[in-house]
Structure 1
Amino acid sequence: MEWLTRMNDALDLMERHMEESIGIEEIARAACSSPFHFQRMFNILTGMTVAEYMRRRRLTLAAQELAVSSAKVVDVALKYGYDSPESFAKAFRRLHGISPSEARDPDVPLKACPRISFHLSLKGDKEMDYRIVEKEAFTVVGKTIRVSLENCEEPGQQVPRFWQECNINGTTGRLASLSRDGHVLGICLDMRPDKEDYTYMIGAESRPDADASGLELREIPASTWAVFTAVGPMPDAVRNVFQRVFQEWFPSTGFEHAGKPEFERYPDGDTTSADYRCEVWVPVVKKG
């Protein structure tokens, strides 16, 4: 598949630039993709941002070099893109749990981030029903948090915890009452390829007369949306849909991510039920 070849071409390019700087634009170009779409695709498929993956790979190679050579720490730091031994040592300790000089001890275990590669998985066990919707710009009201992508484990914890807090303190119920249609939205905002965090809002499409005191207002731009239905208990059902969208749907269509906010649309109901249904809205654009 052409998509698979292009993604692996981008990985090859990244690997060749472990000892020098390379921008997301050049990496995405190797995959014949926009920077935003490549970054979002990479994050969904690997659980890491491109920057985090490059950092882990460089620190893996640096540890290997320190363990088998007499190279100075400062030289290894500069070789793998760090401006000072101090910044290198801080990043090194975060990944390996030890200082760079301790990596020379043969009895000290080191962590490794292996080079990844993308492979085609032909499942074909479930159809992906979707519809394309054109929607004008609209205003949302809600509460927000910043979600970090630097630690690939943390996003899976932050958002469900935020939902739990908003359910308990009554925010979710209030937002449903302010909504034009009674639905509550989970919205990913401020996603940028060169940043390792984004804003997540629990919100609603606001009525014109809604009392938004104490809440945040944001504008969702007009877009073309691919809309998918998620069935089952939350949050796993939504996560599965997002994974299938990026693993199966995008590679098999002529669309890519439009770089605008994406959101989940939740109707009232028991979100732990096996037959609970909600929607995932992904902004899309036809590839040029």
Structure 2
Amino acid sequence: MHAWEAIDGALDFIEEHLQEDISTEALAQSAGLSPFYFQRLFKRLTGRPVLEYVKMRRLAMAASVLADREKRILDVAVEYGFSSHAAFTRAFKEAYGISPEEYRKDWPMLNTCDKPELSMRYQLVDEGVPLIAGDIVLEIERRRLAVPEAYLGMETAVEMKRQVPAGESTGIDVPGQLWKSFHEKKPSVDGLAPDGPEMGMSHMADPEAGTFLYFAGALAEGDAEAAGMEVNTKSKAAEASTLVKRELPVGEYLVCRIEAETFEKLVTIALDQAGKYLFGTWLPAHGLTTLPFSAEKYYRSNESDLYMEVWVMPLPLQD
């Protein structure tokens, strides 16, 4: 057994017993490791100490259960191992920046700590060969875009430390909130292609400010500016109600196609895991990096064939 497989088994055990007492010693014993080496290996592979990881997974599950308004917050807290309403509120606010009451009132989208898919780090697939890991399927291939694609949407600045990488820095999901705002506005937007894809774009990073711009929008039909919309094309964060036009430019791309069982899982857990695999494993192993830009294309015209694609422009690593 490889060392990562022992930790992967411990992660499965944690998922099955989140509502029970979990000790480091018991996990180490199940993995066949001493507590000392188990804790070191666990933190190395997950990025968190054992008990902190357990707490963050409990908070993630508790956040999903809070959607049931029939359950009292205290009952949710006790169900996931918190000794009191106050202890749960304190931990929830430290993780997400808001209290459980505030979360239940406004339902903002959250970056939560998801169970990592460790096997993906140790599997290297060729271009055009699907990789199946956990509940997702991904495939990487090269494509050339010969004609630019125009999208209409909304844009905002995002703090890098709060969003990258997703799941490791928990809190309000700013891109997710932008998508909510765009979907509320989308029915009233003219000039969008019927059943066309939607696109999320991360670009124009500002290292000094510690931010990047995130765009959320949908494919425009023909010339977006000729569609009669007031479009702002300036290279800065737009006001929440202002539409902006962005283009997926002509060029050579690496495209990572991702499939999952549900759209919710596709745009959260699957996207996070695929991004870590693409940028943390696949690209470095092939001596590649990318331009400081990435696009996520979402396809929802057929509910029985849910998938998305991550588009990046590759560069040799030495450049």
Question: What TM-score do the two structures reach when normalised by structure 2?
Answer: 0.44
Q: Report which structure shows greater RCO (CA 8 Å, sep ≥6).
A: 1
